[in-house]
Amino acid sequence: MINLTGRDWHYDESEAKVVDKPWGREVWINYRNNEGVGDEEKRYVMKKLYIKKGTRTSFQYHLEKEETNFLIEGSVEAWFEDREGHIDKKTLEAGAIWSIPAGIKHRIVTLEDIILIEASSPEVDDVIRIEDDTLRGDGRIASEHESK
């Protein structure tokens, strides 16, 4: 095993940080189980999201965070704000890739159970929720990140 920065660089999904969400769960691929946000500086964040059919993520935007998403499995109705401030809704299928610049309002509504990979800049607390089905406030929800 190669040892970089004082610890093994290889681990599997069962050793990654898992965050339960109202709509499913996130596996924080480049965070380890029990690693807190900010414990180690990250230049990017990579998550694998499992989202249940018939649920929606928050309608939200980010001041600084940018993200790119890759839909591995399932289909979604994706909402994106256009340059004029209107919300376009598009059905996306497995294999779709899209990027969301900072400041763009967005949401996904699942049409099937989905698996999605999200790669983003490291500003994980940067979430402004316009609407949330479970009435969560802005920012990272600390209770979702507590060790289990």
| 3-class DSSP state of 43 | coil
| Count of beta carbons in the 10 Å neighbourhood of residue 78 | 20
Query: Which pLDDT score is estimated for 5?
Result: 56
Comparing 98 with 8, the larger pLDDT belongs to 98
Two tokens, residue 53: 């059919």
Question: 49-81: per-residue pLDDT in tens?
Answer: 999 999 999 999 999 999 999 999 999 999 999
pLDDT value of residue 138: 81
Give pLDDT, residue 1: 42
Q: For residue 2, is pLDDT > 50?
A: no
Considering the segment(s) 15-138 as one domain, its CATH architecture is: Sandwich (2.60)
How many helices (H) and strands (E) the chain has is answered by 0, 13
Report the predicted TM-score, pTM, of the whole model to 2 decimal places. 0.85
